[in-house]
Amino acid sequence: MNDNNPVRTKERFLVFGAPRIEEPEVDEVIATLTSGWLGTGPKVARFENEFKAYKGAAHAVALNSCTAALHLSVLAAGLQPGDEVITTPMTFCATVNAIIHAGATPVLADIDPVTMNISPDAVLKKITSRTRAILPVHFAGRPCDMDALCGIAREHGLTIIEDCAHAIETEYRGRPAGTMGDFGCFSFYVTKNVVTGEGGMVITDNDEAAARIKVLALHGMTKDAWRRFSDEGYRHYQVVECGFKYNMMDLQAAIGIHQLRRIEPYWKRREEIWRRYGDALAGLPLKLPADPEPDTRHAYHLYTVLLDEDRAGMSRDQFLVAMTAQNIGIGVHYLSIPEHPYYQKTFAWMPEQYPAAMTVGRRTVSLPISPRLTDEDVADVIAAVRKILAVA
């Protein structure tokens, strides 16, 4: 409890990023549970087909996480040990870990301080004879400068793997996120714009890479090995690579297929919340997110504000504590990657080498922006922020 604010703004804790789950998902999950087939099967195939159609991609492979999607994309891109992948320091650790798991070497390029996306100029400076790929993250749902990044990739013969964990609805100059590079990787984790509990998807137009990702996702067993138990009769499979256990279950797809149908209304609701925050929080000691760039579509996955600690008279971490004391769940997206001891130890990265990401990471706070929020929840978030910053 915050001593200065003994009365909590909300009676019950508002969980950050709680998903909106409706009756069709519940019914489909129950139907799946009672069907006798919980594992990878027809519902996963349907989810893949519907996602593929939504994105206009040639292939979609459903997996159990975006981390798996990133890992398998790096492998399917044919990267070898020692090959370098340039990515952003303003991301979740999974982005960097996936590169490491695939045996490649991550290289960081700092962000643009306004968009918080990887800076194409910084990428150019990091290109060496070993660079093989760029892994941009559409941070918070705002598209990266893909014309510049695709231009660099073309010039240097690089693969682009888009981390679209925040970016299901994102578009850049008419092109959907995930279709501008060679691979697009999506997350359906509980806080994401479409949820399946845990879950992920790779989209690609590359037939060979898609087939290899399918095989690698299920132990390296030959395609559609899950069909071996179907009524078509037992089928022998062959292990053709040392793969992973990354497949999605029908139980997860049962949630996803209904969530997909509500992409637009949920996006509109988040846009509405984004605008309400923008109106209500202007003028406070906070730097609000920049407006979406022209000819782009922001996915409004995260609403991140930067605290002006001097004007607010408190540190970012004190602000986090105060929000929690008001029963409002908040997030931090993200402490920059080089703040973590593993990367400091392994790559000798220090936060100061990536000053824009370091500054954002040390001042940023994410306010809730889930479509589950009621108008009252949104008003409570605003009231808590104003109270803490002593402007209520």
Ligand X SMILES: Cc1ncc(COP(=O)(O)O)c(C=O)c1O
Q: How far is the CB of 336 from ligand X (least distance, A)?
A: 13
Tokens coding 38: 């919980």
Angle, vertex CA 198, rays to CA 195 and CA 201, nearest 5: 75
Complex with ligand X: residue 166 or 387, whichever CB lies closer: 166
Smallest Cα–Cα separation from 105: which of 136, 129, 78, 79?
79
* Segment interacting with ligand X (CB under 6 A) among 49-57, 125-133, 160-168, 266-274: 160-168
The piece of 30-38, 159-167, 223-231, 368-376 that touches ligand X (CB under 6 A) is: 159-167
Q: Which is nearer to ligand X, 249 or 384 (by Cβ)?
A: 249
| Location of structure tokens 């071996």 | 228
- What is the C-alpha separation between 142 and 185, in angstroms, rounded? 15
Is-contact 204 210, C-beta < 8 A? Answer: yes
Q: Which of 72, 146, 150, 165 binds ligand X (CB under 6 A)?
A: 165
User: Under a CB-based contact definition with an 8 Å cutoff, are residues 196 and 252 in contact?
Assistant: yes
Binding pattern to ligand X, positions 195-234, x when CB under 6 A? -----x----------------------------------
Q: Residue 236, exposed/middle/buried by CB under 10 A (0-12, 13-18, 19+)?
A: exposed
The Cα 237–Cα 246 span in angstroms is 17
With beta carbons less than 8 A apart as the criterion, state whether 185 and 70 touch.
yes
- 65 or 370, CB closer to ligand X? 65
Segment near ligand X (CB under 6 A); pick from 60-68, 110-118, 210-218, 289-297: 60-68
Q: Is 32 in the site for ligand X (CB under 6 A)?
A: no
Dump strand ranges (E) for the chain: 59-63, 84-87, 105-108, 131-135, 159-163, 171-172, 175-176, 183-187, 200-204, 286-287, 296-297, 303-307, 364-367
245 is catalytic: no
Distance (Å, rounded) from C-alpha 288 to C-alpha 362? 15
Contact 371, 192 (CB under 8 A): no
Contacts (CB under 6 A) with ligand X, residues 284-313: none
Give the contact letters, 37-56, x = binds to ligand X (CB under 6 A), - = no: --------------------
Site string for ligand X, 70-99 (x = CB under 6 A): ---------------------xx-xx----
Q: 73, 117, 119, 187: which one contacts ligand X (CB under 6 A)? A: 187
Shortest distance, position 366 Cβ to ligand X, whole Å: 11
Integer Cα distance of 187 and 141 in angstroms: 12
Dihedral angle of Cα 49, 54, 56, 57, to the nearest 10 degrees: -50
3-state secondary structure 202-227: EEECCHHHHHHHHHHHECCECCCHHH
From the CB of 337, what's the least distance to ligand X, in Å? Answer: 11
User: Mask 111-130, x = binds ligand X (CB under 6 A)?
Assistant: --------------------
375, 356 contact by CB (below 8 A): no
Catalytic-role residue among 43, 52, 126, 192:
192
- Using an 8 Å Cβ cutoff, are 69 and 200 in contact? yes
Quick check: 163 binds ligand X (CB under 6 A)? Answer: yes
* The one segment of 16-24, 61-69, 336-344, 352-360 that binds ligand X by CB under 6 A: 61-69
Nearer to ligand X, 101 or 262 (CB): 101
Nearer to ligand X, 166 or 298 (CB): 166
Q: Are 207 and 182 in contact (CB under 8 A)?
A: no
String of contacts with ligand X for each residue 129-158, x by CB under 6 A: --------x---------------------
Interface segment toward ligand X; rule CB under 6 A; list 22-30, 162-170, 279-287, 309-317? 162-170
**Sole binder of ligand X in the list 67, 119, 296, 336 (CB under 6 A):** 67
Prior bond to 237 cis, omega within 30? no
Give me the residues that bind ligand X (CB under 6 A), please.
Answer: 65-67, 91-92, 94-95, 137, 163, 165-166, 187, 189, 200
Catalytic residues: 192
